[in-house]
Amino acid sequence: QLRAVQAQGQDVAVSNPCFEVWLLLHLGPAGPAFEKSADVGGRLRERAGAYNKSAPDLAFVDGATLRQAMDRARGGDLNPQAPYPPNPGTRVYRVLDCLHALGALSLG
């Protein structure tokens, strides 16, 4: 399905193994690969002090950490043409790059 979406000129901001990798990148490099998605939450809790997927406290996300997360995600995306980013990896940075290019997001 991902290739069908891309064939239509659209893209998807895939995270591997899960979206929480994007949040983790706000706090530093993601680290080694994860065996399962639940492990990402554990690493996120270690770094952030707490994390609840149902009601996340994202106080650690701000302009500075957003730019750092984007740089880390971009730097870790070793093959941007591949259908999925490596584990751990995310392509959320692509959405933010597009928003920035459209003037809808300031990364000042």
The reported pLDDT for the residue numbered 5 is: 54
Own/partner pairs for 60-68, CB < 8 Å, 24+ apart?
60/26, 60/27, 61/23, 61/26, 63/107, 63/108, 65/26, 65/27, 66/26, 66/96, 66/107, 67/107, 68/25, 68/26
The reported pLDDT for the residue numbered 12 is: 77
Alpha helices in the chain, H assignment, sequence order: 2-7, 20-24, 37-48, 63-76, 92-101
The reported pLDDT for the residue numbered 67 is: 96
Q: Could you state, in chain order, the average pLDDT of each consecutive group of 10 residues for the chain (108 residues)?
A: 61 90 97 95 93 90 94 96 94 92 87
